[in-house]
Amino acid sequence: MLDALYESGCDDALAGSADGAQYLDFTRTAQTIEEAIRSAIADVESVAGVTVVGVDRD
C-alpha cells in the first residue's frame, strides 16, 4: 500500500497510525491550503481501495 501511495504522488507524506487508524501527514506546496488539500486527497484516492475519511489541519 505504501508503495502505491508513493507512486500516486504522495511522496511528500509521512505515514503513521494511531488508535487503529492510518494517516498521512503531508508537506505539500500549493498556491492555497485548499489546493494542497484537494490535490493530496486526489492523490490518495487514486489508489484502489483507499478512501479519505477526514482531514485535519494543524
Q: Count of alpha carbons within 13 Å of 4, Cβ hemisphere only?
A: 8
- Domains of the chain: which residue ranges? 2-45
> pLDDT higher for 4 or 1?
4
For residue 32, the 8-state DSSP code is: S
Q: What is the dihedral of CA 53, 38, 6, 51, to 10 degrees?
A: 20
pLDDT in tens, 7-58: 999 999 999 999 999 999 999 999 999 999 999 999 999 999 999 999 998 7
Instruction: Please give the pLDDT value at position 58.
Output: 74
Instruction: Please give the pLDDT value at position 57.
Output: 82
End-to-end CA distance of the chain: 25
